[in-house]
Amino acid sequence: MDDWPPSNYPILIALMLLVATAATLANGDEKLAESLAIYAYYFLVIGVAIRFFELSIPEDTLQRLNPAKKRISLFSSSLKHHGLIFIRNTAIMLKNLYGRLKLYLRRAIFEMKVRISDFKRQHPPELIVVRIREMISAIRRQILKLQRLHIVNPGKNIALISEISMNIAIFLSVFFIFSLIYGITIDWWFVKGYFYNLILTILGCLTLYIVLRVRF
């Protein structure tokens, strides 16, 4: 059996399974006989496929593959040896790195605790609450000042808004003229993207200016 080709082994297993199928079928166990017949069919197909490759491949293929097998075995042995060394060195390096990081983390946590304690000493919660109340009162005073300015001199604020809207309209009108010249001479599609929105903005500013001047 040492000289047998590899295809004979699955074929032999298939024949043994067929014998076992006949025996189980004779005993009346049809389910087991069906399963054995399926496995026998699989092994028979495998054996036939291997036999086909054996007949199609030249006879000296195995001899040609022997040097490659030797190289692969040498490579696998060297890879196993060097791989174990690499894994060992990596484990040692990670262990040393973990030790260093552990020291740094402990030091950082200690410094953070010290800073938090110093901050608490310099800024106690009662003082923070007092400062927040002072900020709130200052904001309220500023709001009251703005409200008084608006109540006392509403005309000045409206005049300022009217003047700003007029200046914006003039600036946008100049930009409109330059954009129109650029679009006609160079690139209209670029100007077209904002041309209509620019016109609406100019009209809005002029309308705001006219309304504020007429009503106030």
pLDDT for 215 equals: 58
Low-confidence ranges of the chain (pLDDT < 50): 151-152
Give pLDDT tens digits for 54-69.
777 666 665 666 676 6
Nearest residue to 48 via CA among 3, 10, 2: 10
Give pLDDT tens digits for 28-84.
888 888 888 888 888 888 888 888 877 776 666 656 666 766 777 777 777 677 777
pTM of the predicted model as reported, rounded to 2 decimal places: 0.31
Nearest residue to 124 via CA among 133, 116, 113: 116
Q: And the tokens for 76?
A: 């696998």
Reduced DSSP (H G I as helix, E B as strand, rest coil) percent helix, strand, coil of the chain, to 5:
90, 0, 10
